[in-house]
């Protein structure tokens, strides 16, 4: 079983317009999952569904041609922020710490390189600090 097989098959040899439609559909699905009111016994399943949707979006994003680097990096930071938060919510604290630390180090360089992304630095730092706080 290859969980990325579906995305590779959809994206291979497809033009930018189709990839944009797939990416938008995944974004809409994630937003619908985000707004859903879920009973506590299904919360972990719900969070894992959101995590899978975001990971599929990341995979599709790799095949999309962006006009500017800033927008690609903005989406990457946004996706990683959601992933880090979901890892905290599922109580995978050790994984969340490592993931958010990597994001902090990686995205801090991008944020300093592109001043338009400066406002995102607080969310990256906040996620990293929250994962440390929840774990200890």
Q: What angle do CA 121, 85, 104 make, to 5 degrees?
A: 35
Alpha-carbon torsion, ordered 23, 25, 29, 35, to 10 deg? 90
- Alpha-carbon torsion, ordered 43, 49, 53, 54, to 10 deg: 40
pLDDT score recorded for residue 120: 78
Q: Are 85 and 42 in contact (CB under 8 A)?
A: no
Q: Provide the pLDDT for residue 5.
A: 52
How confident is the model over 16-37, as a mean pLDDT?
A: 84
Looking at residue 1, what is its pLDDT?
A: 37
Reading the block at residue 39, the tokens are: 């009973």
The token duo for 20 is: 């944009």
**Token pair for 135:** 């774990």
Chain segment 72-115, per-residue pLDDT in tens:
888 888 888 889 989 898 888 898 899 888 888 888 888 778 87
pLDDT beyond 70 at 123 = yes
What's the rounded Cα separation, in Å, for the pair 85 and 37? 18
Q: Please check the confidence at residue 134 and state whether its pLDDT lies above 70.
A: yes
Q: Which residue has the higher pLDDT, 128 or 16?
A: 128
Q: What is the pTM of this model?
A: 0.76
* Structure-token pair, residue 35: 């707004």
- Cα separation, 136 vs 131, in Å, equals 9
- Top-ranked range on mean pLDDT: pick from 8-12, 57-61, 93-97: 93-97
């Amino acid at each position: 079983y290859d969980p990325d097989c579906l995305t590779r098959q959809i994206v291979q040899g497809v033009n930018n317009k189709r990839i944009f439609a797939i990416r938008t559909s995944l974004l809409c699905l994630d937003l619908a999952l985000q707004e859903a009111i879920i009973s506590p016994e299904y919360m972990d399943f719900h969070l894992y569904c959101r995590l899978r949707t975001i990971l599929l979006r990341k995979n599709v994003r790799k095949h999309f041609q962006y006009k500017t680097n800033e927008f690609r990096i903005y989406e990457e930071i946004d996706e990683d922020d959601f992933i880090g938060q979901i890892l905290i919510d599922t109580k995978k604290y050790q994984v969340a710490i490592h993931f958010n630390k990597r994001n902090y180090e990686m995205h801090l360089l991008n944020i300093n390189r592109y001043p338009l992304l400066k406002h995102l630095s607080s969310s990256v730092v906040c996620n990293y600090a929250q994962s440390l706080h929840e774990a200890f």
